[in-house]
Amino acid sequence: MTDPTTTTEEWHDLLRLASPTEERNPRTTDVDLLPTADVVRLITDEDATVADAVRAQRDRIAAAVDLAVEALRAGGRVHYAGSGTSGRLGVLDAVELLPTYGVGEEWFVAHLAGGVGAMMLAVEGAEDDVALGRSDVDAVGPHDVVVGLAASGRTPYVRGALDVARERGARTVLVSANPHAPLAHGVDVAILVDTGPEVVTGSTRMKAATAQKLVLNTFSTATMIRLGKTYSNLMIDVRPTNQKLRARIVRMLVQATGLEPEACEDVLRAADGEVHVALVMLLAGVEAGAAREALRGDGIAGVRGALSRLGALPTR
């Protein structure tokens, strides 16, 4: 709700700092007069511009990935901090890393303004609470990275989180849809995706959110790849908690080795379901004990590092 005591000067400041996402889109001013097919065409045409806007930030995304890899290798964590749609997308990215790469809050943790309940229902005032942003990331240490998520680039909650990160000596990243984001000043890496005005003015759950999802997908996936969480382009940290996942893992072992499914399943069983161990056993032709020894203490280089020590470096 607007503060009734807002002065004229403060109003001018608010308007001056407005993100491009809050400007009117000249291509959609008559959208409410159009038939369904044209409405959908306008929305999808606008969405089609997002990938190029994200691609323009790839060097900065790469720089953020390098910060995350350095932090995780040093025993730190990556913290996402955001409110509303931005914060929810941070939660989504973080929680999906567990089933995909076997990574939980020991590596990636998400902070949403208003807490878990804000995933389903907006918590009034949470995004404007600088102190809440500070307290939510109070566990941040000097080896961590804090990624602020703010479509407007000025969310007070995110500012509080970034301030604490800087005070603790942590590295900082901002992901925003505002090329002139005020919060970009002072962060180590600013990923400012210029998605422009939305189809519906200010509805940042649309292009701005799509851009953020692409950025976070790229950021976390590239980080996992750099940290040995894949072998080639195969996921090797899927947990075989049911028959479907066990079949997927066997298929992955077949794809990685070219061997028959029966042989891969037998080795996976001998490896007690540990995919990394089974893969090294199959590719290097060693027993489970030797595979585990080669993998021990080398969580970063992963399977390729273990194969190198064993003198087995397949090209596939």
Out of 9, 22, 70, 127, the active site residue is 127
**Domains of the chain (ranges, CATH numbers):** 50-221 (3.40.50.10490), 230-309 (1.10.8.1080)
On the question of pLDDT at 155 being above 90, the answer is yes
Q: Which of 22, 70, 96, 287 is catalytic?
A: 96
Compute CA distances 148 → 113, 161, 167, 218, 219, whole Å.
12, 7, 15, 16, 13
- pLDDT higher than threshold 60 for residue 144: yes
Is the dihedral angle over the CA atoms 251, 256, 260, 266 positive or is it negative? negative
Average pLDDT across the chain, whole number: 92
**8 Å CB contact between 134 and 117:** no
Task: Inform me whether the pLDDT recorded for 161 exceeds 60.
Answer: yes
Residue 301 has a pLDDT of 60
Look at the pTM and tell me if it is higher than 0.95. no
Could you give the residue ranges of the DSSP H alpha helices within 138-242? Answer: 156-168, 207-226
- Band (pLDDT 50/70/90 cuts) for residue 7 is low
pLDDT tens track for 270-296: 999 889 999 999 999 999 999 999 998
11 pLDDT band, cuts 50/70/90, is very low
pLDDT of amino acid 2? 43
Average pLDDT (221-228) is: 95
Give yes or no for a contact between 78 and 101, defined as CB atoms under 8 angstroms apart: no
Look up 127 and say whether it is catalytic.
yes
pLDDT band at 313 (very low <50, low <70, confident <90, very high): confident
Instruction: Show the CA angle centred on residue 156, arms to residues 150 and 157, nearest 5°.
Output: 75
For residue 13, pLDDT beyond 60: no
The pLDDT value recorded for residue 315 is 57
Active site residue 23: no
* 118 secondary structure, DSSP code: G
Residue pLDDT, tens place only, 60-103: 999 999 999 999 999 999 999 999 999 999 999 999 999 889 89
